[in-house]
Amino acid sequence: MPSYFNNEFETLPRAALEALQLKRLKDVVERVYHNVLFYRHSFDSIKLTPDSIKSLTDLQQLPFTTKQDMRDSYPYALFAAPLEEIVRIHASSGTTGKPTVVGYTRKDIENWADLMARTLVTAGAHKGDIIHNAYGYGLFTGGLGVHNGAERLGASVIPISGGNTARQLMIMQDFGSTVLTCTPSYSLFMAEEARAEGVDFKKLKLRVGIFGAEPWSESMRAEIEEKLNLTALDIYGLSEIMGPGVAQECFEGKCGLHIWEDHFIPEIINPLTGENLPEGEKGELVITTITKEGIPLIRYRTRDITSITYEPCICGRTHARISRLSGRSDDMLIIRGVNVFPSQIESILVRIEGVEPHYLLVVDRKENLDTLEIRVEVDERIFSDEIKVLQELSRRIEKEIKDILGVTCSVKLVEPKTIQRSEGKAKRVIDNRKL
Amino acid sequence: MKVEQISIFIENKSGRLAEVTTILGFAGVNIRALALADTTDFGILRLIVNDCDKAINALKDKGFTVSKTEVVAVEVPDQPGGLASILHVLDKDSINVEYMYAFVERCGANAVIIFRFDETEKAIKSLLSKGFNILEGERLYGM
């Protein structure tokens, strides 16, 4: 019997859920129209007023909000509540220029804690669990987001944050951590360190790992579950929308992430044309926040690529599920005119047995031609004392990538641990092209 | 009848061989024989040492990828035609040599050839039947 954090809302029949969404959508459109100049202008420019929203499909008439709109509004111009009402400010890492800033009212923080607690329960956590929270604390929403949800649930949370892996392992053993929250790549990094330090994950009490903040694959899940001896589940969230706890894979179904539709309306669009795509088709995830007060966003383009299903789930939750994220529309590399997502290359690598997902893509331009080099670490599973075996492996990877993605690449085998490990998000691409 | 060889993956960049040999030196491991196979990007260093496990542990500790392989050490007279006589036998019995390397015994009249075969047992049988002397691991490690 699955347990819920909020039985009523998590299992709300579809019709009631949609009625609630419509009511909340009308409310948020009204609020942003009156309180956010950006939305007032964008609605006015297409002669749209809050009254135009009569059904959920009317949402599709509204303009998108993009990351660039958030940058242009730096720092507070998109806030719908006065600063006196804002009790917390987070910002996402600005890889280019200024970060994107988000503000939360007291009610937003409460909703976030509720949704994160719901997320934890969905992953099989409960009161009495010791939650080892290795997401970074600070401006990044990961650490504090999970933290507040764990406290709301009534679990014991260890706010260890990222880094200092030796100490993480010691505390995990001594404190008896039962739930691990961090990025999937950091969990594998921990497994490597544990092996080096003689720590046996089979002797730890870890039961569940809740991994997110970067795309990962089914094969990576298998590897994590084997090495860390736990059930690995996918969590989704982004600071613009709220932070961690926007969607979570359930322990029972382990197939797609329930997106909390009583607070967020998801859509899938074609990233090139902006058209809505039917259920099941892969495209860019667009989210409208319908309860947020601090910085509500209308049709925010997440740039994350996924698909959605409304099929009932065995866990009994009625909320739609998004599939494992397969990449970001802006991570896309264009190599000799071919669109390539690093995650596609990763899934090819992990399918070739034994190749650990420690790889780096190096893109360059030589004599006006793009080149792609894939550096792969050679560990004991793929090493051979015979040159031809290793060369065969390189050729196989090159061939599969050519066959599946249509790009020519060269594989370079490198010594273990020579590719830089990150304790947060893994860096998978170096683009040396001077365009 | 078989000898343990360790193989180490090394990138083709300066200082890697020095690094490996320094690690082994510090660990008190003595190298008996070695061969390096290389490509443009990487190489495989193959070693026969006096203490295989010690060498493997020391190298793994420093993050190297290491494997253990069974090879065969055959003694041949250190004179013209010595090696050819072995290879003829192998050829006749259709035994493939994956790779090989040789060294000359200290103050001895013989050379030692290290072979990596695809079918090790068959190769040993074939060579023994023709009267070749196959060295035990212990003898080689302690040379």
Contact A380 B7 (CB under 8 A): no
Q: What is the pLDDT of residues A51-77, one digit of tens each?
A: 999 999 999 999 999 988 998 999 999
**Domains of chain A in sequence order:** 1-328 (3.40.50.12780), 333-431 (3.30.300.30)
Q: What percent of chain A has pLDDT over 90?
A: 68
Question: Is the Cβ–Cβ distance between A110 and A78 less than 8 Å?
Answer: no
Using an 8 Å CB-CB cutoff, list chain B residues near A383: 7, 9, 65-67
Residue of A nearest to B12 (CA): A414
Dihedral of CA atoms A76, A79, A85, A87 in degrees, nearest 10, equals: -60
Contact B65 A383 (CB under 8 A): yes
Q: Is B59 an 8 Å CB contact of chain A?
A: no
Which letter, b or e, does each residue of A147-169 get, where b requires 16 or more Cβ atoms within 10 Å of its Cβ?
A: bbbbbbbebbbbbbbbeebeebb
Above 0.85 for ipTM, yes or no?
yes
Per-residue three-class SS string for chain A: CCCCCCHHHHCCCHHHHHHHHHHHHHHHHHHHHHHCHHHHHHHHHCCCCHHHCCCHHHHHHCCCECHHHHHHCCCCCCCCCCHHHEEEEEEECCCCCCCEEEEEEHHHHHHHHHHHHHHHHHCCCCCCCEEEECCCCCCCHHHHHHHHHHHHHCCEEECCCCCCHHHHHHHHHHHCCCEEEECHHHHHHHHHHHHHHCCCHHHCCCCEEEECCCCCCHHHHHHHHHHHCCEEEEEEEECCCCEEEEEEECCCCCCCEEECCCCEEEEEECCCCCCECCCCCCEEEEEEECCCCCCCCCCEEEEEEECEECCCCCCCCCCCEECCCCCECCCCEEECCEEECHHHHHHHHHHCCCCCCCEEEEEEEECCEEEEEEEEECCCCCCCCCHHHHHHHHHHHHHHHHHHHCCCCEEEEECCCCCCCCCCCCCCEEECCCC
Distance from CA of B7 to the nearest CA of A (A): 6
Residue whose structure tokens are 């309306």: A265
DSSP 3-state of B3: strand
Q: A134: exposed, middle or buried (C-beta count within 10 Å: 0-12, 13-18, 19+)? A: buried
Residue whose structure tokens are 């890889």: A95
Chain A and chain B share a number of CB contacts under 8 A equal to: 49
Q: B90: exposed, middle or buried (C-beta count within 10 Å: 0-12, 13-18, 19+)? A: buried
Strand partners, A170: none
Taking 60 as the threshold, does the pLDDT of residue A96 lie above it? no
Question: Is the Cβ–Cβ distance between A128 and A155 less than 8 Å?
Answer: yes
Taking 80 as the threshold, does the pLDDT of residue A347 lie above it? no
Taking 70 as the threshold, does the pLDDT of residue B134 lie above it? yes
Q: Is B119 an 8 Å CB contact of chain A?
A: no
Q: Is B14 an 8 Å CB contact of chain A?
A: no
Write down the pLDDT at residue A354. Answer: 62
Residue whose structure tokens are 């051979």: A384
CB atoms within 10 A of CB B134: 16
Chain centroid offset of residue A185 CA: 13
Contact B67 A413 (CB under 8 A): no
Distance from CA of B135 to the nearest CA of A (A): 21
Kindly report the CATH number that applies to the domain delimited by B3-69.
Answer: 3.30.2130.10
Kindly report the CATH number that applies to the domain delimited by B71-141.
Answer: 3.30.70.260
Residue of A nearest to B70 (CA): A385
Q: What is the pLDDT of residues B22-41, one digit of tens each?
A: 999 999 999 999 999 999 88
Using an 8 Å CB-CB cutoff, list chain A residues near B98: 386
Question: Is the Cβ–Cβ distance between A260 and A247 less than 8 Å?
Answer: yes
The Cα A78–Cα A296 span in angstroms is 8
Residue of A nearest to B39 (CA): A387
Distance from CA of B107 to the nearest CA of A (A): 30
Q: What percent of chain B has pLDDT over 90?
A: 70
Strand partners, B97: B117
- Identify the band that residue A428 occupies on the pLDDT scale cut at 50, 70 and 90: confident
Write down the pLDDT at residue A258. Answer: 98
The stretch B8-35 carries a mean pLDDT of 93
Structure tokens at B103: 């060294």
Residue of B nearest to A375 (CA): B41
The stretch A153-177 carries a mean pLDDT of 94
Residue of B nearest to A417 (CA): B63
Enumerate the domain spans of chain B. 3-69, 71-141
Write down the pLDDT at residue A435. Answer: 57
Write down the pLDDT at residue A95. Answer: 47
Specify the DSSP class assigned to residue B118.
Answer: S
The stretch A370-390 carries a mean pLDDT of 91
Selecting from B42, B64, B69 the residue whose C-beta is nearest the C-beta of A413 gives B42
State the average pLDDT for chain B.
Answer: 91
Q: What is the pLDDT of residues A124-143, one digit of tens each?
A: 999 999 999 999 898 889 99
Q: Is B40 an 8 Å CB contact of chain A?
A: no
The Cα B96–Cα B72 span in angstroms is 13
Selecting from B11, B42, B116 the residue whose C-beta is nearest the C-beta of A385 gives B116
DSSP 3-state of B20: helix
The Cα A344–Cα A359 span in angstroms is 12
- Residue A306: phi and psi, rounded to 5, are -160, -175
Contact B39 A384 (CB under 8 A): no
Return residues 68-87 of B near A (CB < 8 Å). 69
The stretch A253-274 carries a mean pLDDT of 94
Q: What is the pLDDT of residues A309-331, one digit of tens each?
A: 999 999 999 999 999 987 776 67
The stretch A246-269 carries a mean pLDDT of 97
B56-64: long-range contacts (C-beta < 8 A, 24 or more apart)? B56/B6, B57/B27, B58/B23, B58/B24, B58/B26, B58/B27, B58/B29, B59/B6, B59/B8, B59/B20, B59/B23, B59/B24, B62/B19, B62/B23, B63/A415, B63/A416, B63/A417, B64/A415, B64/A416, B64/B8, B64/B9, B64/B10, B64/B20, B64/B23
Q: Is B41 an 8 Å CB contact of chain A?
A: yes
- Tell me the residue type at A33: Y
Residue whose structure tokens are 């993956």: B9
Angle, CA B110 vertex, CA B106 and CA B112 arms, to 5°: 85
- Identify the band that residue A97 occupies on the pLDDT scale cut at 50, 70 and 90: low
Output A263 or A1, whichever has higher pLDDT.
Answer: A263
Q: Is B44 an 8 Å CB contact of chain A?
A: yes
Contact A386 B63 (CB under 8 A): no
The stretch B110-139 carries a mean pLDDT of 91
The stretch A254-275 carries a mean pLDDT of 94
Q: What is the pLDDT of residues A385-417, one digit of tens each?
A: 999 999 999 999 999 888 878 889 999 999 988
Distance from CA of A312 to the nearest CA of B (A): 48
The Cα A286–Cα A305 span in angstroms is 10
Distance from CA of B37 to the nearest CA of A (A): 7
- Identify the band that residue A421 occupies on the pLDDT scale cut at 50, 70 and 90: confident
The Cα B35–Cα A321 span in angstroms is 57
Taking 50 as the threshold, does the pLDDT of residue A169 lie above it? yes
Contact B39 A387 (CB under 8 A): yes
Q: What is the pLDDT of residues B60-104, one digit of tens each?
A: 999 999 999 999 999 988 888 888 999 999 999 999 999 999 988
